[in-house]
């Protein structure tokens, strides 16, 4: 069995699966990071992704177009994200309670409508986005297939991470968003419209979270199932913390979690004599270990999850 694991084929397949498993986590993690940089904690990322997954499936099924499905997924993510935005910003409610309530609400709504959608119909499998091979680069040993034989969502991520890194490090707008999350009162005094920036951050949160959910349907599975996010929204939150609130760090942390998921699948495939339940626990165990290892090293914004009420002390 060890001979099956220590092979080029095993590691090539493992790295490819790691990237595929990490992509929805990276999208959700970057969306959550954008919101948290502006001071909004969205524990409801699970609900954002689930809404994106359901809406993308419904949109693609009724229209027959994957691009319309993607647009519907984005709109579904935005809708849930903006519910949290109104509760957190306009109504200044507890952001943790709001996020948990949204997760429960979206789970119930999507389960209800998915049953209506499928009632009396045979199992429907959507076609999915195809991979795009980049000649030359995909031939690199071990990582070529993982990085350069992927779908358009994955390639867009590479660009997105670079853009977000430059945005926060080099632009005045990026610094303004960070100021809103660190010291909203000072930012307001400097003429930065705090609530406007927070709404924009939640819009981006909904867009990226919706894409993360849509990816599961339109690229990986081709079908929607109840509660198909299965904790990925919470793992995305952990990726932001472990990645120390940076785009590159969040990307790396999501790869760790994606790798844990891919590893348990590959080990099952080669017949490792461990209970399937024990292997399925692996990604969550690594998540807990990673979070324990980040204790005392958090770079979270100073005013994270604290509603800003203008004029209050």
Q: Residues for the chain: how many in total?
A: 313
- The torsion defined by the Cα of 303, 208, 78 and 43, in degrees rounded to 10, comes to -40
**What's the confidence (pLDDT) of residue 116?**
87
Query: pLDDT of 134-190, one tens digit each?
Result: 888 888 887 888 889 999 999 999 999 999 999 999 999 999 999 999 999 999 999
Higher pLDDT, 239 or 261: 239
Query: pLDDT of 25-60, one tens digit each?
Result: 999 999 999 999 999 999 999 999 999 999 999 999
Integer distance in angstroms from the first to the last C-alpha of the chain? 64
Confidence band of 229 (pLDDT split at 50, 70, 90): very high
Tell me the whole-structure pTM to 2 decimals: 0.93
135-138-140 Cα angle (round to 5): 120
**What's the confidence (pLDDT) of residue 143?**
83
What is the C-alpha separation between 160 and 212, in angstroms, rounded?
13
What is the C-alpha separation between 220 and 57, in angstroms, rounded?
12
């Amino acid at each position: 069995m060890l001979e099956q694991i220590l092979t080029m084929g095993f590691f090539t397949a493992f790295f490819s699966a790691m990237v595929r498993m990490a992509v929805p986590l990276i999208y959700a993690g970057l969306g959550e990071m954008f919101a948290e940089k502006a001071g909004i904690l969205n524990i409801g990322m699970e609900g954002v992704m689930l809404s994106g997954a359901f809406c993308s499936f419904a949109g693609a099924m009724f229209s027959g177009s994957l691009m319309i499905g993607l647009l519907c997924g984005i709109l579904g993510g935005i809708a849930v994200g903006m519910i949290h935005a109104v509760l957190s910003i306009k109504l200044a409610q507890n952001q943790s309670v709001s996020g948990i309530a949204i997760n429960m609400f979206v789970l119930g709504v999507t389960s209800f409508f998915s049953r209506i959608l499928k009632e009396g119909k045979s199992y429907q499998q959507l076609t999915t986005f195809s991979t795009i091979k980049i000649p030359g680069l995909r031939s690199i040993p071990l990582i070529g297939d993982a990085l350069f034989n992927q779908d358009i969502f994955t390639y867009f991520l590479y660009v997105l991470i670079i853009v977000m890194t430059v945005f926060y490090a080099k632009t005045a707008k990026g610094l303004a968003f960070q100021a809103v999350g660190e010291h909203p009162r000072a930012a307001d005094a400097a003429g930065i419209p705090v609530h406007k920036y927070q709404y924009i951050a939640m819009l981006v949160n909904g867009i990226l979270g919706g894409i993360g959910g849509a990816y599961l349907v339109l690229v990986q599975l081709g079908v929607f199932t109840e509660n198909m996010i299965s904790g990925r929204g919470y793992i995305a939150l952990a990726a932001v913390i472990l990645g120390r609130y940076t785009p590159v760090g969040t990307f790396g942390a999501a790869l760790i979690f994606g790798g844990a998921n891919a590893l348990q699948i590959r080990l099952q495939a080669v017949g490792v004599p461990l209970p399937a339940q024990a292997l399925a626990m692996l990604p969550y165990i690594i998540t807990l270990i990673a979070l324990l290892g980040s204790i005392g090293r958090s770079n979270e914004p100073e005013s994270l999850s604290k509603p800003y009420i203008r004029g209050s002390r």
